[in-house]
Amino acid sequence: MNKKCDIIVAGVGGQGIVLSSMILGTACIIEGLSVKGAEVHGMAQRGGSVEAHIRIGCIYGPMIPSGKADILIAMEPLEGARYSFYLKENKPAIINTFQIPAMGNTYKTEDMLDIIKEKTGNIIAGDFTSESIKIGSIRILNILMLGITARYVPVKKESMIEAIKQNVRKNLVDINLNAFNRGYEISL
């Protein structure tokens, strides 16, 4: 398996994008792969549009050039559309269809998916927010979506589970693992 994989995670500030990036990175360390990542802190985290880059097998800079990403994970459909220009043709886009209105504006989720379709036919879409709430909290959306992604990344599922254990608070490990496993099921 090619161990190089550039991943964009997109969403809205506060959706736990930094944690997703840390978990993927930690999983790489567990497997001895080199890894780089870039993320957003500060003002944009207050509900702004947020992107994180994770570059598995990378020895250079942390930023994925446009049109070069192997996977897009979007925790919100508008943000998925916004960052779809990063994606290589026909690479997987994992899109949460539950929308967060942007500054009071709603929009058609379908339109967003159409934009993403211009880049790739390989879309795994669903209302993963409601799925997360079903498991117990809106906060675990990020981990549920990592579960869906597990099948596409060049690190083992077990390493990702170990990485989750290392990165979330002890009392939250179980609920996060449930979310991860639910995500993994969805992807099958």
Partner 1 sequence: MYKKYLLGNEAIAYGLVEGNIEASFAYPGTPSSEITEKLIELSRIYGFYVEWSINEKVAYENAYGVSLTGRRAAVIMKHVGLNVASDAFITSAYTGVIGGLVIIIADDPYAHSSQNEQDSRRYAVMAKIPCLEPSSIQEAKDMVSFAFSLSERAGLPVLVRSVTRLSHSRADVVLQDIKYSKRDTSFKKTPERFVMVPANARKSLKILNEKQKDIKEYVEELLWNEAEDTSLEIGIITAGISFQYTKEIKENHNLPFALFKVSSLPLPYKKITSFIKNKKKLFIFEEGDPVIEEQVYLIAKSINPSIEIIGKISGEVQTEGEMSVEVIDMVLNGKSPQKPFHSLPKRMPVLCPGCPHSGSFYILKKVFGKDAIFPGDIGCYTLGILSGTIDTCLCMGAGIGTGSGIARFEKQRPVLSIIGDSTFFHAGIPELINACYNSANQVIVILDNRTTAMTGHQPHPGVGITASGEKTIDINIEKLASICGAEKVVVIDPYRIKESIKILKEIKDMKGVRVIVAKRPCIFVEKQDGTKFKVDSEKCKGCKLCLEIMCPAICLTNGKAEISVYCNGCGICEEICPYGAIKKDE
Q: Residue numbers of the site for partner 1 (CB under 8 A)?
A: 12-14, 21-22, 25-26, 28-29, 33-49, 60-63, 65-67, 78-79, 81-82, 85, 100-107, 115, 118, 129, 133, 138
Nearer to partner 1, 123 or 187 (CB): 123
State how far the alpha carbon of 72 is from the alpha carbons of 63, 81, 93, 173, 174, in Å: 14, 10, 5, 25, 26
CB of 94 to partner 1, least distance (A): 19
Nearer to partner 1, 58 or 187 (CB): 58
CB of 103 to partner 1, least distance (A): 6
Phi then psi dihedrals of residue 94, to 5 deg: -105, 110
Nearer to partner 1, 14 or 185 (CB): 14
CB of 187 to partner 1, least distance (A): 24
CB of 161 to partner 1, least distance (A): 16
Specify whether the CB–CB gap between 101 and 109 falls below 8 A. no
Name the one residue in this structure whose structure tokens are 């997360």: 132
CB of 21 to partner 1, least distance (A): 7
Kindly give the pairing relationship between strand 123-126 and strand 49-56: unpaired
Nearer to partner 1, 63 or 187 (CB): 63
- Within a 10 A sphere around the Cβ of 136, how many other Cβ atoms? 13
What is the dihedral sign for C-alpha 101, 102, 108, 113? Answer: negative
Nearer to partner 1, 65 or 121 (CB): 65
Q: How far apart are CA 182 and CA 91, in angstroms?
A: 22
